[in-house]
Structure 1
Amino acid sequence: MAGGNPLSMSRAIAVDLGTANTLIFVKGQGLVLNEPTMVAVDNRSGLVVAVGHEAKRMRGRTPKNLRLVRPVKDGVIVDFDLCEHMFKQFLQRVLTSRWGKPTLLVVVPSELTGIERRAFKDAAEFAGARRPVEVIEKTIAAAIGLGLPLYEPSANLVVVIGGGTTEVAVISLGGIVTENSVRIGGDEFNNIIVAGFKRIFKLDIGENTAEEVKIHLGSAWPLTEEIVGDVGGRDVATGLPRTQEVTTEQIREILDDGVNKIIDAIKKTLERTPPELASDVISNGMHIVGGSALLAGLQERITHETGIQAFIPAEPLLSVIVGAGYSLDNLGAIKGSSPQGEE
């Protein structure tokens, strides 16, 4: 009887532990959690006060005794203990059964070192996952989530623009042929906006404000109808609150260097692609996913700059986690394709 074996009651779970957001997919249920990868810590006791959305709501408003920590930076775990604590809390939220440890598949950037990959596995195991924890590369998961013909002898170009990094990969016959990664994503766009406001408008703004500017006024290509908005902050010279009127054209110019870094990463990947596969990419186009793919006009800008048609799905943030979730049915193949030296 299956109910008599605790292991038979364990759940299969896919986790995308990203720089900006953590998403969890439970087999048989689908996406069950989408929370910021953020932890609030009490400086006096060292105890975790909040994680996820609750922690993010404190950003820019924390008293001196609290600090906000992002345990994953540029796709790499930088604070293992806090990452483990956050991971455990997220798992506890989505697991309804106490029987058996869950089987976990964790999404990782493709260019991590063996040690960096091992950190993701260890964090999952210490958080309560069954050993061994398997990993899947982010661009491969994205291709699966998009429903691309992954195992055919034809190339597909996938671009994942996350919170901390942008990953570009040409995929054929189930594997990555050539790839490139740059440390540019949603977080860096926010930082660029903060720096741009200080330099151009002499106005200090916070991360939350920068993110709102990026979402509502940010773009990578001229818009059909340009927008004017008011942004509040602190005057650099006087230290007093002030409102600045800005246009989408001005924000587009501020973001231009960051967008160019993404385009350069795509071009460098294409330059290293074998001629036969390059022909496939021209025919098939490129597929752009990740939360930062939502930047207005990015599809048009990349198509214009590379000469290759870019496609962005309706929900680009979900492509990676959905692909990882679909892969839960084929963990044996994933284990067999993992690089050596990770166990």
Structure 2
Amino acid sequence: MSLFNFFTQEIAIDLGTANILIMHNDEVVVNEPSIIALDRNNPKNVVAVGKKALMMHEKTHESIKTIRPLKDGVIADFNAAELMIREMIKKIYPKKPMFAPGWRMMICIPSSITEVEKRAVRDSAEQAGAKEVYLIHEPMAAALGIGIDVEEPVGNMIIDIGGGTTGISVVALAGIVCDQSIRIAGDEFTADIMEAIRRYHSLLIGERTAEQIKIQIGAAMKEIDNPPQDMAVHGRDLVTGIPKEIMVSYQETAEAMDKSIFKIEEGILKALETTPPELASDIYRRGIYLTGGGALLRGLDKRLAAKIKLPVHIADDPLTSVVKGTGLALKHYNSYPFVMR
């Protein structure tokens, strides 16, 4: 055994637009928002990362800036992404180890990513301390995380609704047969809620407040089982400029997000149109699998099932399906032909 292999530690990373998850020793050890706070005077000085940085978001003064390094599923700010990955990895070992391990990393990437964007992910990982970097497409990682045997000659449709993009893919025989990626996902839902509150209540709210509304009372339909109670929302009155409180119902969130969800429905139908007939028959029998944070939106599975006329299954833990699949692929990286070195 070489000295490198002796000190090598394996980590699987789901580098998402909204959240970054890291799996180490078969456990999800990091689950934090993909955001970093930096010192404006010294951009290499990290003030906070993850949950602490999110608490500062939209509340900073001139000396601190918060950055979301990923946009639409890809790295938009290379330096911030590198610093964020480095700080997130430090959270694996709160106490600094005697010998810094060499990291073997596997990172999942959107299937629609370009070569330039792929290189940015690889470079960020290497700058953050990776000795070996492997890449895996999100639909394959999600399928593995759900528990699907991706190598069998059977078609499975995976819909991964993340923060920046919704990936709609059909996988079979260890490959992606059909793929649609639309830039409508969790961030778009949040923006829809902000716009609806501004338009109908003349109230200006921030991104964090809109995100809380989406999580606590967000719904895809106006009629759902076990509806949540109305939520008190605080913001700035656009007429008077004074802070005020309003009550928001889940029906209002369903109306606000309706157009964005409709675009996801259209994307699914378009993907089904391009699916080979033999795989389409498999999907008819097996249904469609939903993963990603967007899958937790109340009533979304029922709305999609009513529109597409197919069964829709939500993964047991949609938020961690992708990172679990990435960890599984990393364990057997020599066995899976879809893992990219």
* Aligned counterpart for 2:259 among listed residues 257, 260, 267: 257
Q: Give 1:68-87 correspondences, 5 Å limit.
A: 68-87=66-85
Instruction: State the match for 1:17 in structure 2.
Output: 15
* 3-state secondary structure, aligned to 1:67: strand
Q: Which runs of 5+ in 2 are unaligned?
A: none
Are residues 99 and 42 of structure 1, via their aligned partners in 2, closer, same or farther at CA, if it must alter by over 3 Å?
closer
CA contact (8 A) 1:219 1:295 kept: yes
- Deviation at 1:225? 4.7
Q: Give 1:79-158 correspondences, 5 Å limit.
A: 79-95=77-93, 96=97, 98-131=99-132, 133-158=133-158
Letter of the 1:213 partner, please give it: I
Instruction: State the match for 2:39 in structure 1.
Output: 42
Instruction: State the match for 1:168 in structure 2.
Output: 168
Instruction: State the match for 1:289 in structure 2.
Output: 291
- Deviation at 1:182? 0.7
1:198 and 1:157 map into 2 onto residues whose CA distance is 37
Matched, 1:32 2:52: no
Matched, 1:326 2:319: no
Letter of the 2:16 partner, please give it: G
What is the CA RMSD across the aligned residues, in angstroms? 1.6
2:26 and 2:160 map into 1 onto residues whose CA distance is 25
CA contact (8 A) 1:71 1:82 kept: yes
Aligned residues between the structures: 335
CA contact (8 A) 1:150 1:171 kept: yes
Q: Deviations over 1:229-255 (max 9, x none)?
A: 321111111111111222211211011
2:85 and 2:314 map into 1 onto residues whose CA distance is 29
- Deviation at 1:112? 0.2
Letter of the 1:151 partner, please give it: E
* 3-state secondary structure, aligned to 2:84: helix
Instruction: State the match for 2:313 in structure 1.
Output: 311
Q: Give 1:170-249 correspondences, 5 Å limit.
A: 170-221=170-221, 222-226=223-227, 227-249=229-251
55-64 or 174-183, larger mean C-alpha shift: 55-64
Q: Deviations over 1:80-130 (max 9, x none)?
A: 011111111111221556354111111100010111111111111110001
- Deviation at 1:72? 0.7
* Aligned counterpart for 2:268 among listed residues 266, 270, 275: 266
2:125 and 2:66 map into 1 onto residues whose CA distance is 21
Normalising by structure 1, report the TM-score: 0.93
- Deviation at 1:60? 2.5
- Deviation at 1:228? 2.5
* 3-state secondary structure, aligned to 1:332: coil
Instruction: State the match for 2:5 in structure 1.
Output: 7
* 3-state secondary structure, aligned to 1:223: coil
CA contact (8 A) 1:178 1:272 kept: yes
* 3-state secondary structure, aligned to 1:233: strand
107-116 or 324-333, larger mean C-alpha shift: 324-333
Letter of the 1:113 partner, please give it: T
CA contact (8 A) 2:174 2:338 kept: no
* 3-state secondary structure, aligned to 2:21: strand
CA contact (8 A) 1:7 1:100 kept: no
165-174 or 184-193, larger mean C-alpha shift: 184-193
- Deviation at 1:33? 0.7
1:244 and 1:100 map into 2 onto residues whose CA distance is 52
42-51 or 321-330, larger mean C-alpha shift: 42-51
272-281 or 219-228, larger mean C-alpha shift: 219-228
CA contact (8 A) 2:146 2:316 kept: no
Letter of the 1:104 partner, please give it: M
* 3-state secondary structure, aligned to 1:316: coil
Query: Which of structure 1's runs of 4+ aligned residues deviate more than 6 A?
Result: none
Q: Deviations over 1:47-102 (max 9, x none)?
A: 32111111011123212221110001101101101111111111122155635411
2:195 and 2:77 map into 1 onto residues whose CA distance is 26
Q: Deviations over 1:26-56 (max 9, x none)?
A: 1x34211111110112222323211111101
Letter of the 1:321 partner, please give it: V
1:99 and 1:211 map into 2 onto residues whose CA distance is 37
Are residues 152 and 6 of structure 1, via their aligned partners in 2, closer, same or farther at CA, if it must alter by over 3 Å?
closer
1:225 and 1:146 map into 2 onto residues whose CA distance is 26
* 3-state secondary structure, aligned to 2:102: coil
Are residues 100 and 41 of structure 1, via their aligned partners in 2, closer, same or farther at CA, if it must alter by over 3 Å?
closer
Instruction: State the match for 2:52 in structure 1.
Output: 54
- Deviation at 1:5? 2.0
